């Protein structure tokens, strides 16, 4: 029983992080129809930026804030400089481009920060909390993780639902031509979308890193889990991404706890294949109208 | 002379002539290098074999795969299991079995992949590449776990030694034997791939890539064409993996990380999608350039580990630049430039020639927009 609860709690925390990462992928997919496979190394780079700041004796929170800001800038620069030319072109070019970026950022981080494992501090305790004499697997940092992701999601909902800027961003994503005719600076909106997505991605990178080891490759499997979570939700729906992330986090946690931790990635692959075969548009997509 | 021209004009004849020339070049090159270079050449061969398979899949059929590293792992593990057994199988039999096993895996993955497009396919194969090393770890008892499977290259058969002595007049070392095996495999695989690409099967693959609706109206079964392309490509990756197992002599999960799959994709993109010459050129770059770049890095004052990461940095940057500036890849761009030099009046249409034998394929070949 205790193991069951602990596995579920671990899955919940992990699921929140996957949800954040999936949300970053969905934001980019909605605005530019590109799956950003370079999201993982982008988050890795900003996490290393935070680590450098913290290791130089500054506070955790300064590193945290700088990493998020760095994510914002990195996302904007990547969209404007590298991705803009392939937007709207053949899908395969965009895929290859983001993978090229994946390799570049990976190698760059290894050259600049070195490729050994380094430990990343956590802002809160990473020991389980005592409840009635038994220790459960929910840590202080885990609670912080859940709250941080929830806060970011709330802010995004507020931005998209209730602000003029959010409306313009949605218009640019929905129909570029019409949005442009109505006076929306579509290019800027796309850049902003990438920047916001990269910020959310950086947050997930920081949350995964907290209290564990980081190396240039530590986010590689997360890009797979984030992608699976996003596809679970339909790749198009922010709510779907969050639910997909939670579902995936829980499932993978149970696979890891009861079957074998090495098969986690295989389980993710199996879930992905099942979704793509049974409901290719994701669990949350509205039934698509089809001409008969 | 006229007869030679006639042979040259038939596709098979031309490919066989090129094959004969390639065999000659392989013998000359392998004989003229030392053992260290022979090992490097073997590495180039196994990367080239797998990249050849990938270029056919991505360039001719428009399917992208990040799982070819995983398919190489299937070939490599099969070979390692077969060759470590007593009595030892003859190596060609082991190579063929590994290829067949990988093709069988390719049928399963190809059937799934045929239903997916662009980023979905990339994501699914990416998941495969990340998942497969975990399988080797989980079934550690048969597959060696973290340590991997060691492989002892069996004794070189007597007749091979005799033949080699007869041709070259000195003894054949073990690494050169493996180099020969690797390169002859490459020549055979490339001959088959080039023929297939020029045949009805290859035309179907291209038709499916260019326009699904038109292809279906012409009576092509889309799923069958996609799966067959994937199986052929997987077979090549399996053969590449089998050669890799022989060359590296250790088959372990760390050899088949995501990096390997990305390396193959890099080789294919650098050379130009759909071009076998390009795939070979890409494999050559990935084999021989790292040491040059690493040396440049160490002399610029970086420590060894960081200097070793400069090579992927350069590839990644070149790959991004190729997609942005020269989507035909290196070989395709050179080829187009050469054609423009020879007859400047004709501006080459980038969409016309996209086949394996004439390297004019573009990256931007998949027109089927399925958003």
Q: Do B323 and A276 touch (CB under 8 A)?
A: no
Residue A216: HSE in the Cβ half-sphere, 13 Å Cα cutoff: 19
Which tens digits make up the pLDDT trace of A22-52? 999 988 888 888 889 999 999 999 999 999 9
What are the pLDDT digits (tens) for A48-84?
A: 999 999 989 888 899 999 999 999 999 999 999 988 8
Residue B362 has pLDDT above 60, yes or no: no
With cut-offs at 50, 70 and 90, classify the pLDDT of residue B345: low
Residues of chain A with C-beta less than 8 angstroms from the C-beta of B209: none
Give mean pLDDT, residues B199-203: 91
Mean pLDDT of B39-55: 93
User: Which has more confidence, A283 or B105?
Assistant: B105
pLDDT of B359 above 50: no
Least CB–CB distance from B371: residue in A33, A220, A223:
A33
CA-based nearest residue in chain A for residue B325: A85
CB A37 within 8 A of CB A222: no
Beta-carbon contacts below 8 Å between A and B: 156
- Give the CA distances from residue A143 to residues A14, A276, B179, in Å, rounded to whole numbers and listed in that order: 11, 32, 57
Choose the closest CB to A93 out of B266, B316, B363.
Answer: B363
Query: Looking at residue B147, what is its pLDDT?
Result: 80
The distance of A26 to chain B (nearest Cα, Å) reads 13
Cross-chain residue pair B124–A269, CB shorter than 8 Å: yes
Q: Distance (Å) from the C-alpha of residue A248 to the closest C-alpha of chain B?
A: 14
Q: Given a cut of 90, is residue B241 above it in pLDDT?
A: yes
| ipTM exceeding the 0.90 mark | no
Burial class (CB in 10 A: 0-12, 13-18, 19+), B18: middle
**Is B207 an interface residue toward A (CB < 8 Å)?**
no
Contact B131 A266 (CB under 8 A): yes
B79 in contact with chain A, both atoms CB, cutoff 8 A: no
CA distance B22 to A28: 47
- Would you call B114 an interface residue with chain A, using a CB distance cutoff of 8 Å? no
Place of tokens 């070195």: A114
Structure-model confidence comparison of residues B344 and A9, the more confident one: A9
Please compute, for residue B227, the number of CA atoms within 13 A of its CA located in the half-sphere on the CB side.
Answer: 13
- Which chain B residues are closer than 8 Å to A224 by Cβ? 123, 126-127, 130-131
> Is the CB of residue B2 less than 8 Å away from at least one CB of chain A?
no
B126 touches chain A (CB under 8 A): yes
| Nearest by CB: B64 against A92, A102, A260 | A92
**Nearest CB to A264 within list B123, B134, B306:** B134
Contact between A39 and A102 (Cβ < 8 Å): no
* pLDDT score recorded for residue B185: 92
Indicate the pLDDT class of residue A133, thresholds 50, 70 and 90: low
Buried b (16+ CB within 10 A) or exposed e, A266-279: bbbbbbbbebbeee
Q: What is the pLDDT of residue B87?
A: 65
β-strand pairing of A118-119 with A213-214:
antiparallel
Count of C-beta atoms within a 10 Å radius of residue B1: 5
Question: Is A263 within 8 Å of B262 when comparing Cβ atoms?
Answer: no
pLDDT at B239: 95
Q: Residue B133's pLDDT band (boundaries 50, 70, 90)? A: confident
Residue B12 has pLDDT above 80, yes or no: yes
CA–CA min distance B257, chain A (Å) = 10
Q: What are phi and psi of B247, to 5 degrees?
A: -75, -45
> Which is higher by pLDDT, A272 or A280?
A272
Q: Which residue of B has its CA nearest to A266?
A: B131
| Residue position matching structure tokens 């392998």 | B30
In this prediction, residue B354 carries a pLDDT of: 40
| Banded pLDDT at B365 (limits 50, 70, 90) | very low
Is the dihedral angle over the CA atoms B287, B289, B292, B296 positive or is it negative? negative
pLDDT tens column, B18-43: 888 888 888 888 888 888 888 899 99
Mean pLDDT, chain A, as a whole number? Answer: 86
**pLDDT beyond 80 at B243:** yes
Task: Write the residue in B130, B134, B310 that is nearest to A220 by C-beta.
Answer: B130
For A221, the closest of B130, B302, B315 (CB atoms) is B130
Q: Looking at beta carbons, which residues of chain A come within 8 Å of B130? A: 220-221, 224, 265
- For chain A, say whether B306 makes contact (Cβ under 8 Å): yes
Say whether pLDDT at B369 is over 70.
no
Q: Which residues of A touch B320 (CB under 8 A)?
A: 82, 97, 100-101, 104
* CA separation for the pair B370, B212 (Å, rounded): 10
Position A170 scores a pLDDT of: 85
Among the partner-chain residues A89, A107, A272, the one whose CB lies closest to the CB of B309 is: A107
**A82/B320 touch (CB, cutoff 8 Å), yes or no:** yes
pLDDT at B246 exceeding the cut of 60? yes
Interface probe with B: pick from A48, A87, A92, most Cβ of B within 10 Å: A92
Cβ distance of B127 and A93 shorter than 8 Å:
no
Q: What is the pLDDT of residue B156?
A: 74
Q: Residue B277's closest CA among B182, B181, B190? A: B190
* Chain A contact present for B58, CB below 8 A: yes
Helix (H, G, I), strand (E, B), or coil: what is residue B65?
coil
Which among B120, B269, B316 is the nearest to A104, CB-wise? B316
Count of CB atoms within 10 A of residue B363's CB? 26
Distance from C-alpha of B233 to C-alpha of B136, rounded to nearest angstrom = 22
Cβ of A276 within 8 Å of Cβ of B120? The answer is yes
Question: Tens of pLDDT along A229-267?
Answer: 988 888 878 888 889 999 999 999 998 888 888 888 888
**Residue of chain A minimizing CA distance to B266:** A100
In chain A, where the domains are located: 2-216
* Banded pLDDT at B367 (limits 50, 70, 90): very low
Mean pLDDT of chain B: 83
> What pLDDT score was predicted for residue B168?
73
In B142-181, the residues whose Cβ lies within 8 Å of chain A are: none
B1 pLDDT more than 70: no
pLDDT in tens, A182-197: 888 888 898 999 999 9
Give, for A130, the enclosing helix (H) or strand (E): strand A128-131
Mean pLDDT of A145-154: 90
Q: Does B118 touch chain A (CB under 8 A)?
A: yes
Confidence at B360, pLDDT banded by 50, 70, 90: very low
Which of B209, B309, B366 is best to mutate for the A interface (most A CBs within 10 A)? B309
Torsion angle in degrees (nearest 10) through CA of A173, A230, B121, B221:
-80
């Amino acid at each position: 029983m205790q193991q069951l609860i602990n596995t579920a709690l671990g899955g919940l925390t992990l699921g929140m992080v996957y949800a954040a990462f999936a949300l970053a992928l969905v934001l980019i997919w909605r605005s530019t129809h590109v799956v950003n496979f370079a999201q993982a190394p982008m988050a890795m780079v900003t996490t290393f930026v935070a680590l450098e700041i913290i290791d130089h004796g500054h506070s955790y929170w300064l590193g945290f804030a700088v990493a998020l800001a760095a994510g914002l800038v990195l996302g904007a620069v990547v969209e404007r400089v590298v991705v803009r030319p392939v937007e709207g072109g053949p899908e395969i070019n965009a895929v290859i481009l983001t993978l090229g970026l994946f390799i570049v950022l990976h190698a760059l981080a290894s050259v600049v920060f070195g490729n050994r494992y380094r430990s990343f501090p956590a802002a809160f305790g990473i020991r389980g909390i005592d409840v009635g004499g038994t220790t459960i697997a929910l840590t202080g940092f885990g609670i912080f993780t859940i709250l941080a992701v929830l806060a970011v999601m709330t802010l995004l909902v507020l931005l998209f639902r209730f602000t003029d800027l959010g409306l313009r961003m949605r218009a640019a994503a929905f129909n570029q031509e019409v949005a442009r005719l109505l006076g929306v600076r579509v290019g800027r909106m796309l850049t902003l979308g990438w920047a916001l997505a990269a910020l959310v991605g950086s947050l997930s990178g920081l949350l995964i890193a907290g209290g564990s080891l980081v190396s240039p490759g530590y986010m590689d499997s997360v890009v797979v889990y984030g992608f699976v979570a996003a596809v679970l939700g339909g790749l198009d729906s922010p709510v779907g991404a969050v639910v997909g992330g939670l579902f995936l986090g829980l499932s993978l946690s149970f696979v890891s706890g009861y079957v074998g931790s090495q098969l986690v990635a295989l389980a993710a692959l199996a879930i992905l294949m099942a979704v793509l075969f049974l409901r290719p548009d994701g669990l949350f997509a509205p039934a698509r109208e089809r001409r008969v | 002379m006229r007869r030679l021209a006639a042979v040259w004009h038939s596709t098979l004849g031309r490919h066989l002539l090129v094959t004969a020339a390639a065999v000659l070049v392989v013998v000359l090159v392998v004989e003229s290098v030392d053992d260290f270079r022979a090992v490097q050449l073997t590495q180039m061969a196994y990367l080239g074999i797998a990249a050849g398979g990938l270029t056919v899949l991505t360039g001719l059929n428009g399917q992208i795969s990040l799982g070819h590293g995983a398919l190489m792992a299937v070939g490599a593990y099969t070979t390692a299991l077969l060759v470590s057994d007593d009595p030892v199988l003859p190596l060609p039999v082991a190579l063929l079995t590994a290829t067949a096993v990988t093709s069988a895996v390719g049928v399963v993955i190809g059937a799934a992949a045929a239903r997916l497009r662009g980023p979905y396919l990339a994501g699914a194969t990416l998941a495969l590449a990340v998942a497969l090393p975990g399988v080797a770890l989980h079934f550690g008892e048969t597959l060696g776990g973290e340590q991997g499977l060691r492989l002892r290259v069996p004794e070189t058969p007597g007749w091979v030694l005799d033949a080699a002595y007869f041709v070259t007049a000195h003894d054949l070392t073990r690494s050169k034997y493996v180099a020969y095996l690797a390169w002859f495999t490459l020549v055979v695989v490339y001959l088959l791939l080039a023929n297939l690409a020029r045949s009805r099967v290859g035309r179907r693959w291209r038709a499916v890539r260019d326009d699904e609706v038109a292809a279906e109206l012409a009576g092509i079964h889309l799923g069958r064409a996609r799966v067959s392309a994937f199986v052929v490509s997987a077979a090549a990756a399996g053969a590449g993996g089998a050669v890799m197992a022989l060359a590296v002599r250790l088959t372990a999960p760390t050899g088949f990380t995501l990096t390997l799959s990305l390396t193959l994709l890099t080789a294919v993109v650098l050379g130009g999608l759909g071009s076998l010459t390009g795939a070979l050129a890409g494999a050559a770059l990935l084999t021989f350039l790292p040491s040059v770049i690493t040396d440049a890095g160490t002399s610029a004052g970086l420590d060894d580990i960081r200097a070793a990461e400069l090579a992927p940095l350069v590839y990644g940057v070149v790959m991004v630049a190729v997609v942005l500036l020269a989507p035909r890849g290196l070989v395709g761009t050179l080829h187009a430039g050469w054609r423009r030099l020879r007859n400047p009046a004709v501006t080459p249409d980038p969409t016309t020639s996209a086949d394996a034998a004439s390297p004019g394929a573009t990256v931007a070949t998949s027109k089927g927009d399925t958003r």
